[in-house]
A = this chain, B = another copy of it.
Amino acid sequence: MARWQPGTRERLQATALQLFASHGYDQTTVAEIAAAADVTERTFFRHFADKPEVLFAGQDDFLGIFTGPIESAPADTAPFDLVRLALDASGAFFPDERRPWSRTRQGIIDAHPALGERELGKLATLKVRLGEVLRDRGVPEPAATMAAETAVTVFHLSFAQWIAEGEDRSFSAIAHERLDALTNLVHPAR
């Protein structure tokens, strides 16, 4: 499992983000990213298929972080508890020290529709994979798809709040607040 620690790949990602933020995404070339990270262009392309990929690499790790806890949970775990487990695990992908990086990255993505589409595609893939692992565990339809959609919605809203200006709570705390809001929405405590 990839971790957020020093290394060529991570250095390339950090360098690319700095260049995108200071010079503009469109204005920054792979050659400039490689030079600034003190590696060759060939090395860049060993790690990333193309320039946008430097912002999206780690997709497989990310999917695995979501689906792993669902696949390994005890057989009698309720579907909503599976959703909780997946969201708790996803918090590990967004430690506080990553927040500035995520904020800068999102600003670049939001400013470029093509990157925004890749991001939406990523969330769509996550929904599909979650639905699959839930059905594999015997969760019937339409419950499996509702659970997958709910998990990704909570994830997406939590992430948006986690990178919001002035927010300093952990990803998990924010996700739990949203899960609680959903629980209370569906069955209000009177």
A residues neighboring B (CB under 8 Å):
78-80, 83, 117, 120, 142-143, 145-147, 149-150, 153-154, 157, 161, 177-178, 181-188
Copies per assembly: 2
Given A79-B188, A146-B181, 13 further pairs, Cβ under 8 A? A78-B188, A80-B185, A80-B186, A120-B120, A142-B161, A142-B177, A142-B178, A146-B157, A146-B185, A150-B150, A153-B153, A183-B187, A186-B186
**Cβ of A149 and Cβ of B142 under 8 Å apart?**
no
Chain B positions within 8 Å of A142 at CB level: 157, 161, 177-178, 181
**Cβ of B181 and Cβ of A183 under 8 Å apart?**
no
Q: From residue A105, how far is it (CB to closest CB) to chain B in Å?
A: 21
The dominant DSSP class at the A interface is helix
Q: Given A142-B177, A157-B142, A178-B142, are A150 and B187 neighbors across the interface (CB < 8 Å)?
A: no
Q: From residue A183, how far is it (CB to closest CB) to chain B in Å?
A: 5
Q: Given A187-B183, A187-B187, are A149 and B145 neighbors across the interface (CB < 8 Å)?
A: no
Question: Would you give 21 A-B contacts (Cβ < 8 Å), ordered by A?
Answer: A80-B185, A80-B186, A80-B188, A120-B120, A142-B157, A142-B181, A143-B181, A143-B184, A143-B185, A146-B154, A146-B157, A146-B178, A146-B181, A146-B182, A149-B157, A150-B150, A150-B153, A183-B186, A183-B187, A186-B187, A187-B187
